[in-house]
Structure formats: structure tokens, C-alpha cells
Amino acid sequence: MGQKLQDIVSTIQAQQNEIIREEINKPVLIQGVAGSGKTTILLHRLAYLFYAHKESIRANNSLIIAPNQMFIDYVSDVLPDLGIEKVDTQTYMFWGKKILGWNDHYTLSPLEEDLRFKEYKGSVEFLNILESYFNEFESNLLENIPYSRKERISRRYYELKEQFPNIDMEERLGLSVDFAFAQRQFDQAKSGYVDTYFNDDIEKKREILAYFSRSVNIYALYKKLFRTNLLDPDCGKYTLQAMTTSGKNTYYRIEDLAPMVFIHQKIYGTKGIERDYIMVDEAQDISYIQLATLINVAKNSNLTIAGDLAQSIIPPFYIKNWQGVIELTDKMTKKETSYHQLQRCYRTTVEIIDYANEIFKSKFPEGYKLPEAVLRHGDPVENVYLPNDFGKSSEKDIKIVVEKIKTQFEKGAVTCAVLCRDKNHATEIYSILKKYEEDIDRDVVSYTESDYKQGVLILPIEQAKGLEFDSVIIMDLNDALYPDTEITWRLLYVGMTRALHRLMIVTRSSHF
């Protein structure tokens, strides 16, 4: 990895260097085509910031949000070569569960997804619903305090909210209760009344604080939202069907995690979870509410996010364009987002980029600019035609592919990725190729190991996002696995552009 990093450093271009050295205390957004160096820029920017702003930006209080565990492993190998240690690198899901204090008994619901509702619950519109719901909850909470002088607590609460907006709700409630009881004792002392009910006051304060504590269970509070008239009843029914408890397990849908983190931040604030700097890679696949929760914990708006709209491969494709992201970021930070666009591909060869552009040029998002390959030539893209899908092939045909894989290493490859349509497809291909490990003379590694290793890595295209390999083989490219849909074209674009040097397509027909 050290030599590879030196190669990367030697190819850093002027535009990339400009982004690396961008000033701090403002959000930065990078749109970069596949192979444009987005991840390299993010990591080098971190290294630069830790050096140039060591007093205000510390490695041990920074955060990298990554798309999957294999990407985290890849980054973890690179960071030490940049002199970076102890940077917290997590998936959003792991980070979000940690914020909520959830253990492994909080589990994703196995129920089928509805992409309409999933997209809605990641939208700016739903973010506004959460704000309205929280304000309503806050008002009702104060109105129902079990105390005859609750109006004193409420009045003081809103005074503190206006005067000290950075105080979180929990602290504001505690201070308001203390103030109300202190005011009562002051009024009594002023009138000459001697209070003999001190212990009763302590007990009443405990009762009020216990009421607050019961009312702010995040999971229960979020569920109540879907029983209000703020939302479509069908959306409520869909969400509540999944939010259940069975034995030790508590279930939720993946798109409901970020809204619960958002509510948690509204109640408990961000004081203990604020980060000096946050980097988000593969940002095209996050939701607006995930983004909002990260903006909330980015100290002084210190946030850099990078992505590629053409590589959005996780439905429902929350981010259709970067303008919505810029608007949300500007609004929340009250600062102007610095936007950069990278079109040159430094990863792969002219032959592979030309091949991919020819296929996908009519499939890219509107206004999307095609990748431009740096003038580095290599082998032509190779198509291997088999009579059947690989899983149903004869031993003779399997050995043809095995020999092709072996040839990749004879040509100098260190990593060769066999990319599959999904996890089931990857499991099937792995079970076949593992038997030929000795013939290939390299380790055959399953995606389930979640580790970026040398050898033959067999993984779903989705889990190859953000990574690169010397050689890439797209397995079983046919109409059954890859119908003519938006998600198909996005997946194939991601898959083909993972290749550094060589790309091979294994297919039953010449449709592609």
C-alpha cells in the first residue's frame, strides 16, 4: 500500500491540490466521476488539516463516514501511510446506533421495503415534518408537567431557548425546573414564610424529571409521529408494521435510523458528540436526513462530502442533484458551500473509459458530464462468451474463466475482483471458484470476510463502491440478472469503473 500511495501522491493534480488545501470552517462538496481521486483527496485533505490546523482539528476527534466495512478496511490501510492515526471510520448505520446507545438487539426489520415511503422518510420534506413534530412534542411536554406552577417552568424554558439556543433540551428542562423551585423559595422568603416542605420539593422535582425522562424515549417518541395527522396514514401503517419488539429484539427500518438520530440531537444536543472534522465518502447514497444529522455534529461547519451522482446505486436514490444538498447545507450552517467538480478519471485506462462511456452516455443523469480518461492506454476490454451462466457451466467452460483469472496475475495484478449482481449471486460464484483456488494460485476471498485483501475477491457490485482493483471481471452479464433498468446501468457503471488496468465481461450473449 505504501508504494501505491506514493504513486497516488505523484499524480495529484492542481485542481485536486486546491481542494485538499481548501480553507476550514465551511462545508465543501466534491462531485467527481469514477476514478477522479475523490477518496484520495478526502484522505489527503485530512492529513493536511491535521498538520496545518493541529490546534483546532484533531485526528482523534474527527470522523470518516464510509459506505461499507470493506471500504473501511481499505481506508484503514491507507491512513497510516499518510501519518494519520486514530481517525474514527464508521458506516452511518454503526455511527447512528452508537449515538442512540443501541446494542445488537436493535435489528433491521426483515419486512419488504416500499421505496416510495423510504424515499419520503429521507427527504427534506420529512425533515421539516420532524421539526414540526418536535415543536409540537415540546409544547405538549411543558403543558403536561405534573406541577401546579408548571407555567413558571415553561416560561423559563422558552427564555433559555431564546437566550441560549445552544443549550440542549434536556439541560434546558433541568435548569428551568431548578429555577422554578428556587423562585418559589425566594418568593416565600421574601414574604417571611418559612418553608417546612423542603423534602417535599425534592420529591416533586424528582417526579417532574422522571416525567421528562419517560417522555423522551426516542424509539417510542418516533413511533408516535406515525399516529399523528402530520403524515399519510399509509406511511404510518408501513412504518409501524416494522417498528415492533419481539423477545429481546427491537426492529426498525433502515431509513428510520437517521430521523431517530435527528430527534435524539434535538433533545440531548450535540455537545458530547461534536467532531472537529467530518468526511463523508460516497455521499450520493446518503439521505438528506442522514446529511442533516452529520451537519449538526460538524464543529464550525467543518465538513467535506464527496460523491458521484452516476454512482448512486442504493434505491431510492435520495439525491437527484447536488443543488438540494447545497441548499440544505447552506441553510443549516449559515455558510456558503464550496463546490468542486472533477471530470478527469485517473484510475482506469482510455480503453475502459471509452467502453463504459459508449454504453452509458445516454443513461447518465441529465446534465452529467462524461468522465475524461487521462491518456493511459492498456488492454482492450475482453468479452468471454459462455453457452450458459457461470453457475450452470460445464467444468470445461469454468476452467476457461479460471485460466482467464490466472492470466490476470501473470500480467502483474495483485487484486482481481469478480463482481456479481448481488449477495446471492456472489455466494454462488464463490462456491464454484473456491474449488479452483490451487489452479489460480491465489486466495479466493468471499465478500463476507469484509476485508480488502490481495487475491481474487468475489463480491456484489454494491460492495465494491469506492474501491479499485487491478483487474475486474463482471460475471454473468445477461438480461435476467441485469434488465434494462436505472439501477442496472448504475451498478454496471460502478462495476466497470473499479478496474485499474483490465476489464473482462463474462456473458451468454453480445447484448451488452
Instruction: Give the pLDDT of residue 5.
Output: 45
* 308-361 per-position pLDDT tens digit: 999 999 899 899 999 999 999 999 999 999 999 999 998 999 999 999 999 888
Q: At what angle do helices 257-268 and 169-190 cross, to 10 degrees?
A: 30
- Average pLDDT (71-76) is 87
- C-alpha gyration radius of the chain: 27
Binding site members = 32-39
Greater confidence (512 vs 42) lies with: 42
Strands 27-32 and 303-307: parallel
**What pTM value is reported for the model?**
0.89
Instruction: Give the pLDDT of residue 201.
Output: 75
CA neighbor of 318 nearest in space, from 282, 346, 347: 282
Strands (E), 226-368: 245-246, 249-252, 277-280, 303-307, 338-342, 344-345
Cell numbers for 475, please give them.
Answer: 460475471
- Average pLDDT (225-246) is 97
**H/E element, 383:** strand 382-385
d(CA 152, CA 176): 8
| Cβ neighbours for 474, distance < 8 A, ≥ 6 positions apart | 419, 492, 495, 496, 503, 504, 505, 506
* 117-160 per-position pLDDT tens digit: 999 999 999 999 999 999 999 999 999 999 888 999 999 999 99
Instruction: Give the pLDDT of residue 510.
Output: 52
Strands 245-246 and 249-252: antiparallel
* 477-508 per-position pLDDT tens digit: 999 999 999 899 999 999 999 999 999 999 98
Greater confidence (184 vs 387) lies with: 387
* 250-276 per-position pLDDT tens digit: 999 999 999 999 999 999 999 889 999
Q: Write down the mean pLDDT value for the chain.
A: 91
Instruction: Work out the percent of the chain whose per-residue pLDDT is above 90.
Output: 75
Model confidence at 386: pLDDT above 90? yes
- Taken in order 63, 64, 68, 73, is the CA torsion positive or negative? negative
- Average pLDDT (461-478) is 95
Greater confidence (5 vs 111) lies with: 111
Model confidence at 287: pLDDT above 60? yes
Cell numbers for 211, please give them.
Answer: 416525567
Instruction: Give the pLDDT of residue 294.
Output: 98
Binding site members for ATP = 32-39
Q: Which domains does the chain have, with CATH numbers?
A: 5-105+273-345 (3.40.50.300), 350-508 (3.40.50.300)
- Average pLDDT (370-391) is 92
Q: What band does 199 get if pLDDT is binned at 50, 70 and 90?
A: low
Q: What band does 3 get if pLDDT is binned at 50, 70 and 90?
A: very low
Instruction: Give the pLDDT of residue 186.
Output: 66
* 9-66 per-position pLDDT tens digit: 555 678 888 999 999 999 999 999 999 999 989 999 999 999 999 999 999 999 999 9
Instruction: Give the pLDDT of residue 10.
Output: 56
Instruction: Give the pLDDT of residue 365.
Output: 67
Model confidence at 240: pLDDT above 70? yes
Cell numbers for 363, please give them.
Answer: 443513461
∠ CA(478), CA(484), CA(487), 5° rounding? 100
Instruction: Give the pLDDT of residue 452.
Output: 75
d(CA 507, CA 476): 5
Residue-wise DSSP of 397-437? HHHHHHHHHHHHHHTT-SEEEEEESSHHHHHHHHHHHGGGH
d(CA 51, CA 44): 11
Instruction: Give the pLDDT of residue 196.
Output: 53
